[in-house]
Every structure is written in structure tokens, then in C-alpha cells.
Amino acid sequence: MLHLRLISPAARTDEVTAVLDDCPGVTNIVVLAGAGRVPEGDVILCDAARESANEVISRLAWLKEEGSIAAEQVDLSLSKVAIEAIEEAPGDPDDAVIWEELGQRVSSDSRITWAYLAFLTIATLLAGIGVLQNSPILIVGAMVLGPEFGAIAAICFGLLNHRGHLIATSLRTLVVGFLVAIVITFAVTFAMHLLGWIDIGNLRSNAEVQFIVKPDRWSFIVALLAGAAGVLSVTAGKSSALIGVFISVTTVPAAGYVAVALALADWKEVAGSVSQLAVNILGMVISGTVTLLIQRRFWPQVGRRSSV
């Protein structure tokens, strides 16, 4: 269930409550006349099944300008009418994609922040060490730590909804993030090389992690599957599934390999790792966008009347 808090101009409150009464899956409707201060108006509270959220929000979209719409997840609801509302709403709660919520989430994930740069840099440094130490475990750790899928999901959402600004912002986040992470990892690796800690031989004895610089058809297939699974996990709120996506693709390890290979002047490995990075991002963008398209067009039309 979702808990909705609406603020409506007093003159249109009856219109709002009429929409709530008409939408399947909405219950526990409460009207607090004149309780709103900023903005001024009546406060309307209700609970809605996730499957009904899109219909409610779309039919009350004018409140975004004239009032307010806020929603939060209800962790516990002990109510017979709430159970009946969930059963009344078409579809299944786990399949419901609340598009406004997803739009806000990916928009937030598309921005460059210090936390994003820090996590991506640390992940790339771990990947670089994993390459030098021939350690698949460190490579997996770097995969899990990488935060780049948020920006990839934002690109998918932008392509689906023709939002050029979101696509551009997300691409910039990916490019700047990976450039910063690669430059810092390159500097650290080059310093270790000057100190005599490592040399080109470290890249000649890392058979366990050579898959990073050998992209092939399987790399693209894995990226396609990971992109679809990643979007599904984001829209369904399955964080554990998203961790599996991180472990599946070698975007961060490829970036780490690029930095290490550049520092040790191994140009052949640079080309292979750059190709791996590009293949993974392209595959995830393609399959992620297609998955969102399927959810919007071909899955049960959650939040709409079953008679439509």
C-alpha cells in the first residue's frame, strides 16, 4: 500500500475526493478541511494499492501546480478495507511501476555527486588492485561497489520518455565519473610502478581476470540480461536482485583495467578493456529501455480498470 497526502484548493476538494472514490484500490480517505497552510487548502489523506497509484496521480496531475501530491510506502497496514482495496485493484503489487516515482528516482541517480564519484573511484581502485593481484574476489567486490547502474537506468528512462536533458545529464555523469575514477587509479598505479612495486609482468600473470579484456558475444548477452534484470529490480524495489546485476557485468573492472594498462603502457589491454566497458554499457541501455517499454505497453495495465 501507498499512503498519499494531497493538498487541494478548497473549491476543488470535492473533485479530488470524487476521483479517489472512483479509483479502484483506494481506501481510508480522510479530509481535513483548511488544514493546509503552504500551499493553502484542504488536506486529503488516503491509502492506495500500488497498482492504483498511476491512475490516481494521472487523474490528479493538476494538483502538482495548484496543490501538492506526496506518497510514501506503508510498511504495515492492519485493515480489512486495505486488504479489500489491494484485491480490488487490477494486477499484482510487485508488478506495479509507479512512473512518477521512477522518474524522480532516476533523475536523482543521474546527477554527479561527491558520493557517486567517491564510490566509483574506490570501486575502480579495487578493480585495479584485483587486476594486479590476479584476484577474482577483489573484482567481484569492485562490481558490487560500483554505483553506475543508476545513471544507466536514467538513460533508459530518458530514451523511453524522449527526455533529452535527462539522457545528456546521465551520459555526462557516466563519462565524468569513469574519467575521474580512471585518472585517479592511473595516478596511483603509475606511482606504484615508479616505486618498483609493480611492472608489466603483473599483467602477464593474471589469467584469472583476463575475461575483462576479452569482450565477445557472451559479454553482450550478459549485458543484455543484466540490463533487463537491473531495470526490473529498480521498478520492483528488489535491491537484492540489483546486487546480482552488479556482479554480472564488468563495467567497473574494465575501467580499472584501463587505468592499470595505461600506467604500464600495455596498449593492447587498454583497447580490450575499453571495448568491454562500451559493450556492457550499450547492452544494458538497450535491454533496459526495451524492458521499460514492455512494462509500459505489454504487461498488465496496472492502475487501470480491468474493464479497459
DSSP class of residue 92 equals: -
303 in a structural domain: no
State pTM to two decimals.
0.85
Tell me the C-alpha distance between 13 and 31, whole Å. Answer: 9
* Residue in the structure block whose three cell numbers are 574519467: 179
Q: Are residues 77 and 121 in the same domain?
A: no
The beta strands (E) that lie in the chain are given as 2-8, 26-36, 41-48, 68-73
pLDDT score for 207: 80
Q: Are residues 123 and 267 in the same domain?
A: yes
302 in a structural domain: no
Residue 145, CA distances (Å) to 68, 118, 149, 299, 302 in order? 36, 10, 11, 32, 33
Q: Are residues 127 and 204 in the same domain?
A: yes
Task: List the domain range (segments joined by +) for residue 28.
Answer: 2-96
Q: Are residues 150 and 127 in the same domain?
A: yes
Q: What residues does 45 pair with on adjacent strands?
A: 5, 30
65 in a structural domain: yes
* All three cell numbers of 244: 546480482
pLDDT single digits (tens) 99-158: 999 999 999 989 999 999 999 999 999 999 999 988 989 999 999 898 999 999 999 999
304 in a structural domain: no
Q: Are residues 68 and 142 in the same domain?
A: no
Q: Which has the higher per-residue pLDDT, 86 or 242?
A: 86
pLDDT single digits (tens) 212-266: 888 888 889 999 999 999 898 888 766 566 676 777 788 999 999 999 999 998 8
